[in-house]
Structure formats: C-alpha cells, structure tokens
C-alpha cells in the first residue's frame, strides 16, 4: 500500500508539520523526514556550487576574451557575487565547504568555458586561479 509520502508529497509535508506543532512525535514519518531534511542541506550546497560555476565561468571569459567583454558579463559577475554573499549569509555553515565547492565549481566552469569560448582546455589553469576573496571582490576584474 502506497504511503502519503509517495502519493501526495505536499499533503505529507504539511501533515508532518502539523504533527510537529502538536508534539505528536511518535506519529512522524521519521525515515522520510530525515531523508527530506538531508536533501534540503544538499540542495543548499548544490546552490553554492551552481552560483560559483556561473561566477567562475564569467571571470574566465572576462580574463581570456578581453575583446568580448561587455555589460552582460559584468552584470552577471556582479549578480553572482551578490547572490553568493546572500547565500552564505543565509547558510553560514557552507563557508566550511567553500574549498571543496570551489574545486568542484571550477572544474565545471572550466569545461563550460572551453565549450563556450572554443579555446583549448590547456588555455585555462588546471586549478582555480582566483581566491575566494578575489572572486567576491567588487573591484576584481581579471586581466
């Protein structure tokens, strides 16, 4: 027999919230609740990596395609800096995962930069050439 979790996630989520509010902890779907809470944490970490990918991609394009620099890239870099700052403010524990996130994001950004620019993979550093402080510095525009 299918559970509410399987048939109507929305109703299941509100049911769990109602049970928590009522203090009826023994009725909570513990296994699925644990899974969903952990999934929320992973989602926040994915968001961090995704924002870093976009920022790094545009920083790489800015650095390696100076003739194509434009307002679109500038605005994207500014936007990602603001969104990253906000995301880390909302999720300060993610700061402890920054090195790992930057490494993962740079690998993806490098592949995307290669695809979008048509430049050889060897054009781009094998490791992220920017510190997090540089990435977030409003005055930093790589040459």
Contact 60, 113 (CB under 8 A): yes
User: CA nearest 139: which of 86, 51, 78, 95?
Assistant: 78
Per-residue pLDDT of the chain (143 residues; tens, 9 = 90+): 889 999 999 999 999 999 999 999 999 999 999 999 999 999 999 999 999 999 999 999 999 999 999 999 999 999 999 999 999 999 999 999 999 999 999 999 999 999 999 999 899 999 999 999 999 999 999 99
Domain ranges of the chain: 44-136
pTM: 0.88
């Amino acid at each position: 027999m299918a559970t509410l979790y399987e048939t109507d996630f929305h109703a299941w989520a509100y049911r769990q919230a109602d049970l928590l509010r009522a203090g009826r902890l023994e009725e909570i779907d513990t296994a699925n609740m644990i899974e969903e809470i952990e999934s929320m944490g992973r989602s926040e970490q994915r968001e961090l990596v995704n924002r870093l990918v976009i920022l790094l991609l545009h920083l790489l394009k800015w650095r390696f395609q100076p003739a194509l620099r434009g307002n679109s890239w500038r605005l994207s870099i500014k936007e990602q800096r603001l969104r990253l700052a906000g995301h880390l403010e909302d999720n300060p524990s993610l700061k402890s995962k920054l090195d790992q996130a930057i490494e993962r994001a740079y690998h993806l950004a490098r592949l995307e930069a290669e695809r979008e620019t048509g430049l050889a993979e060897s054009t781009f550093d094998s490791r992220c050439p920017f510190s997090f402080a540089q990435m977030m510095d409003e005055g930093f525009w790589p040459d």
